[in-house]
């Protein structure tokens, strides 16, 4: 496995296109802001994960659709408009 140091990362950043820079910046920012958790998992957390896995298994491996969750609170997806995800249309 190749060892990657900061200089290698800097070199890769230098090769990015202008369109790729914001994506890379957001990724790096999130990695710095939310570092990988290295704390041991508690028994309570293990139980919660086991319960969630069991619930998913009993429900065909599918979660609850967002529309159903929002409906419980009297909301719809229209309350959360998504901004353009790069569909190519820029009016």
Structure tokens given for 13: 């950043």
Domain hosting 51: range is 43-79
Closest CA to 52 of 63, 68, 41: 63
Q: What is the pLDDT along the chain (91 residues), one digit of tens a residue?
A: 678 899 999 999 999 999 999 999 999 998 888 877 788 999 999 999 999 999 999 998 888 998 999 999 999 998 888 765 554 444 4
- Which whole-number Å values give the CA distances from 90 to 20, 45, 84, 86, 87, in the listed order? 18, 45, 8, 8, 8
What pLDDT score was predicted for residue 84? 57
Structure tokens given for 61: 């491996």
Domain tally, the chain = 2
Q: How far is the C-alpha of 51 from the C-alpha of 58, rounded, in Å?
A: 11
Q: Are residues 24 and 47 in the same domain?
A: no
Instruction: Determine, yes or no, domain membership for 90.
Output: no
Instruction: Determine, yes or no, domain membership for 8.
Output: yes
What pLDDT score was predicted for residue 90? 44
Q: Are residues 33 and 1 in the same domain?
A: yes
What pLDDT score was predicted for residue 87? 47
pTM of the model: 0.40
């Amino acid at each position: 496995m190749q060892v990657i140091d900061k200089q290698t990362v800097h070199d890769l950043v230098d090769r990015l296109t202008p369109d790729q820079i914001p994506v890379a910046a957001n990724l790096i920012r999130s990695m710095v802001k939310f570092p990988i958790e290295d704390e041991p998992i508690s028994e309570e957390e293990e139980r919660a994960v086991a319960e969630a896995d069991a619930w998913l298994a009993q429900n065909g491996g599918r979660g609850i659709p967002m529309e159903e969750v929002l409906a419980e609170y009297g909301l719809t997806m229209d309350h959360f408009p998504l901004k353009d995800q790069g569909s190519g249309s820029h009016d």
